[in-house]
Structure 1
């Protein structure tokens, strides 16, 4: 299994960004200064790459005590797809594609479990937001049982822009939410469809809910008010599979 790659040193990270490497996160030492650092800072902002200021001890651990020069980056072990290219290529091959959008999902193990279920249910692509989403790292790939190498994953600047493009491509959007009276079993999944799942704590954001063509919930017959997001996602995806069989 390909592991998450760590690179260290300001110049090496700058070169990785400029070469188009997909960087999950950059860790920086407090108080860095100098032309190279400011060049890196500018690139991080331009490419909307997540970064954190951390103690030197963490940088030492991440770099395994190599000369990190105050900067360590984690590179994604997979290549991400361009949204427009993916949707166009899928629509050329399929009349009823199935996409999955994850709105600020943050837990890597939930993410990995969802990727695994998506692969098993024939999902054509997963769309996540660059900022605030769980990274595709070694834990994600391990939990996905390698499915992260099989299901196309797109990173977008804003999830709402992805929704605009999806809906402009005549693909309907259903949001998984408790803020509705409609059951998942009342939704017609036998059409071009994208399912949006929300974050572990807040669910689908209100701005995304307003854009959805449909809203649907799962029946909860016990006393607990919500399901784990990866379990709920599996229930939605298999309802789509059942209707399409």
Structure 2
């Protein structure tokens, strides 16, 4: 009762530019019940929410339901399938990862990481932190059992060298040293190239910020060592998408 009532976004959001909406969604609004975005380093998630708010005024209830939900009768994965689909393939969205065919131990570790904040995503955090341990294990088993990953690598020779040999002159290790069968890391073959490229660019961070101020976790360091012009060819090669299939 101490905060003003929430505005009708279908009306109120029209007052703001995209830049203003982005700032409001990322930082929240003081003296109201609207908090800042839960994970500040995921500006990609904030941009998606800006796009959603922009679309909201003209959206019908049927369009809203089609956008945020996918029916999954008889299963308890409705929250997951709204984005990842009942087949684990991400409902065709280029920025949603394919989960079908991943190792169940990896998927479980990812959910646990989102729940405790060690993995960065405000969207996934809100889902995972509400899941009981058995529900996490069940979701990991179900998605891992779905088909979806395993395409053979395909692409140019330069990308192949990075995957198999790395770039010693840039201290870039071979992708296959971790992302290979039997390794405790995510399967990339069959993943969407747009998703891989997006994640690599996210890990690289803002080009105007010096490396010393960026994350020194494994993947951010590796991503910064990949030449920018090789990110898209590398993503296509890793995912087995030689001609842009599945973008």
TM-score by length of 1: 0.30
Q: TM (normalized to structure 2)?
A: 0.30
The structure carrying a bigger helix percent of its residues is: 2
Which one has the bigger strand percentage? 1
